[in-house]
């Protein structure tokens, strides 16, 4: 399914998230208002009956007609009038309402690079008692709101999902009705003073379960439990969808790859230590942005791939440095509403462009916009550990790992905590966290050379030597000159602590 947004006048409505914007600024219309407006727009100028609108706005409920009148009046107030002075929503006497303008295909449908779509279905109460209904609704609304902050996938509104559930019995039919690939289902069971929440994520077309989890708490801490469940589920959903999408792209035939597929194929290569794999990641991402020059996530990832070549590889030429900064600037411009794109762009501007203050400010905005995205949190933390507030960086890394221990970047998060200790000259703690990073991914080069540096500072010669041997087994090209080259980066005195430790550990010149 390709995400479609409805554009009319100065307004843009995203029917999947239920967000209405005017001149780029979000407006408050509520989930029911969004469901009603979507139903009216999708009728393409045809009248929509009140019964149909009740089903879309209040699925499965019996409500008085006045409720619909109130919602329509609120929408009219937000929308105002057209350039010709007419109401956007016209009343059809004794029948219902009609949206004034029939939307044409093309400039009124704003297509974006296709993204996976997830629906969060209403959580069930297996007991049938109904005393957990308000808590279940709160959990679902919290999950939808948190997932809506991600730009790597879209999430349908809770009312749209509820309407589909009311009309269909099987998960396959629900997914087909909504046009989504992923379904999040769950249940809430209350027994005395205890509450149990169960949830599972399905890849509906393949009829496979990606994960299942259970959470428990007490009634006295219900609101705290709601927040913890929401945070934990969101932390599990994002990496599960990312892994599933990468695998889906890997299975596609090369001739059928589009920009999004190329982007997905580059992601696992991007995180390897092999120079040839990093070069292939850059090639795929450059091909991706040639196919779609306005794909902000692809632009940001391409800029990051060049930076990784500098950090973990042979370095960058002046041409590559300019290209990385060019890609980052364009990504930040086009993806200003995508916290992950903003965070990646900020990293490049700090590390490659030396724009410390601007980059840290961008990262702070990205973290505020999506505090549940492990990549955003880890980049905010990483840049603070390198060039900003060490303790703030460390605490943010810990938060990132707490909310998403299964994240694709978890080994980098653990490594970041290690670096924060090493830069604070707490070398024993640096060893502990580096070893945890290695346990999560034993092929990650940076974990091994960070461990070697910590052992070097501690004077543990034999362990330092063994770590260096592993570094050279993974990257035979790596020499002290590589780390001395990083002296040109902001706050290079922190890099120097790492370099001094590696020299003591015996990394060759």
The CATH number that applies at residue 16 is 1.10.10.10
Predicted confidence band at 254 (pLDDT cuts at 50, 70, 90)? low
User: What is the distance between the alpha carbons of residues 351 and 320, in angstroms, rounded to a whole number?
Assistant: 14
**349 shares its domain with 227:** no
Asked if residue 270 and residue 349 are part of one domain, the reply reads: yes
Q: Which of 201, 158, 205, 202 is nearest to 179 (CA)?
A: 205
When divided into structural domains, the chain yields a total of 4
Give the up-direction half-sphere exposure of residue 426: CA atoms within 13 A in the CB hemisphere. 14
The residue out of 349, 370, 391 marking a domain boundary is 370
Looking at per-residue pLDDT, the higher value among 28 and 149 belongs to 28
- Among 71-85, 193-207, 232-246, 334-348, the least confident range: 232-246
User: Kind and range of the H or E element at 412?
Assistant: helix 410-423
- What secondary structure does DSSP assign to 146-163, as a single string? HHTT-SSSEE--HHHHHH
Our CA dihedral for 69, 74, 78, 79, rounded to 10 degrees, sits at: 0
Q: Domain holding 286: CATH number? A: 1.25.40.10
Q: Do 98 and 161 fall within a single domain?
A: no
Same domain, 325 and 238: no
61 vs 466 pLDDT, higher one: 466
Residues 453 and 469 in one domain: yes
Other residues' Cβ atoms within 10 Å of the Cβ of residue 21:
16
H/E run at residue 222:
helix 222-251
**Strands, E assignment, 301-340:** none
pTM of the model: 0.65
Same-domain check for residues 402 and 509: yes
Verify that 382 and 508 share a domain, yes or no: yes
Task: Give how far Cα 114 sits from Cα of 1, 125, 258, 301, 461, Å.
Answer: 7, 34, 10, 17, 52
Q: Between the CA of residue 164 and those of 14, 147, 160, 171, what are the distances in Å?
A: 18, 19, 6, 10
Q: What are phi and psi of 187, to 5 degrees?
A: -145, 155
176 or 50: which leads in pLDDT: 50
* 21 & 131 share domain: no
pLDDT at 129 > cutoff 70: no
366 close to 340: Cβ distance less than 8 angstroms? yes
Per DSSP, what are the bridge partners of residue 117? 154
pLDDT of residue 453: 97
Map tokens 């995400």 to a residue: 3
Which DSSP state fits 408? T
Same domain, 39 and 83: yes
Host domain of residue 30: 4-111
**276 and 352 housed in the same domain:** yes
Give the HSE-up count for residue 72: Cα atoms under 13 Å, Cβ half-sphere: 21
pLDDT bucket at 273, cuts 50 / 70 / 90: confident
Q: Which range among 156-160, 312-316, 348-352 shows the weakest confidence by mean pLDDT? A: 156-160
The pLDDT assigned to 164 comes to 61
Burial of 409 (0-12, 13-18, 19+ CB in 10 A): buried
Distance CA 399, CA 496 (A): 27
Q: Which residue among 370, 392, 407 closes a domain?
A: 370
Give the closest residue to 135 by CA, choosing from 18, 16, 34, 220.
220
SS3 477: coil
Same-domain check for residues 365 and 392? no
Q: How distant is the alpha carbon of residue 178 from its chain centre? A: 21
Residue 412 to residue 374: CA distance in whole angstroms? 11
Residues 142 and 168 in one domain: yes
Task: Choose the weakest-confidence range: 15-29, 31-45, 88-102, 148-162.
Answer: 148-162
Name the phi and psi angles at 154, rounded to 5.
-110, 160
**pLDDT mean over 422-448:** 95
The residue among 370, 386, 409 that closes a domain is 370
Residue 226: band (very low, low, confident or very high) from pLDDT cuts 50, 70, 90: confident
Question: Is the distance from CB of 234 to CB of 403 less than 8 angstroms?
Answer: yes
Nearest residue to 180 via CA among 124, 121, 229: 121
Confidence band (pLDDT; 50, 70, 90) for 102? very low
Contact at 8 Å (CB) between 103 and 15? no
* Least confident window among 241-255, 299-313, 339-353: 241-255
CATH for 152: 3.40.50.10610
CA–CA gap between residue 181 and residue 223 (Å, rounded): 30
301 and 335 Cβ atoms separated by less than 8 Å = no
């Amino acid at each position: 399914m390709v995400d479609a947004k409805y554009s009319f006048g100065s307004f843009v409505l995203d029917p999947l998230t239920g967000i209405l914007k005017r001149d780029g600024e979000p407006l408050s219309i509520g989930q029911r208002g969004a469901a009603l407006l979507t139903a009216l727009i999708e009728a393409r100028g045809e009248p929509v009956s009140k019964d149909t609108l009740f089903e879309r706005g209040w699925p499965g409920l019996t409500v008085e007609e006045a409720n619909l009148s109130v919602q329509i009046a609120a929408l009219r107030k937000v929308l105002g009038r057209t350039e010709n002075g007419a109401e956007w929503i016209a009343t059809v006497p004794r029948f219902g309402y009609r949206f004034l303008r029939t939307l044409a295909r093309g400039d009124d449908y704003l297509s974006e690079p296709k993204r996976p779509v997830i629906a969060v279905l209403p959580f069930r109460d297996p007991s049938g008692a109904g005393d957990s209904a308000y808590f279940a609704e709160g959990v679902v609304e919290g999950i939808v709101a948190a997932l809506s902050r991600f730009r790597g996938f879209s999430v349908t509104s809770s009312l749209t999902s509820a309407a589909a559930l009311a009309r269909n019995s099987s998960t396959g039919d629900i997914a087909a009705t909504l046009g989504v690939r992923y379904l999040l289902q769950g249940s809430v069971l209350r027994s005395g003073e205890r509450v149990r929440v169960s949830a599972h994520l399905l890849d509906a077309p393949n009829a496979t379960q990606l994960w299942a989890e259970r959470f428990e708490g007490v009634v006295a801490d219900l609101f705290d439990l709601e927040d913890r469940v929401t945070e934990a589920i969101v932390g599990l959903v994002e990496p599960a969808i990312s892994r599933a999408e990468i695998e889906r792209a890997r299975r596609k035939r090369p001739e059928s790859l589009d920009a999004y597929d190329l982007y997905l194929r580059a992601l696992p290569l991007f995180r390897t230590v092999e120079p040839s794999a990093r070069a292939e990641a850059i090639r795929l991402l450059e091909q991706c942005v040639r196919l779609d020059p306005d794909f902000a996530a692809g632009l940001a990832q391409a800029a990051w791939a060049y930076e990784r070549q500098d950090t973990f590889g042979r370095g960058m030429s002046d041409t590559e440095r300019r290209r990385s900064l060019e890609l980052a600037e364009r990504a930040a411009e086009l993806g200003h509403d995508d916290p992950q794109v903003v965070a990646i762009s900020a990293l490049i501007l700090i590390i490659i462009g030396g724009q410390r203050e601007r980059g840290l400010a961008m990262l702070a905005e990205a973290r505020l916009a999506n505090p549940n995205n492990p990549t955003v949190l880890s980049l905010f933390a990483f840049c603070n550990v390198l060039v900003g507030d060490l303790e703030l960086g460390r605490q943010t890394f810990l938060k990132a790992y707490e909310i998403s221990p299964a994240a694709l970047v978890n080994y980098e998060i653990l490594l970041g905590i290690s670096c924060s200790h090493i830069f604070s000259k707490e070398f024993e703690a640096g060893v502990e966290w580096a070893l945890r990073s290695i346990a999560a991914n034993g092929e990650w080069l940076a974990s091994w050379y960070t461990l070697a540096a910590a052992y070097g500072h501690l004077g543990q010669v034999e362990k330092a030597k063994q770590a260096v041997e592993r570094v050279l087994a993974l990257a035979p090209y790596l020499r002290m000159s590589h780390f001395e080259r990083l002296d040109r980066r902001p706050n290079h005195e922190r890099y120097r602590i790492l370099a001094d430790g590696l020299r003591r550990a015996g990394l060759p010149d």
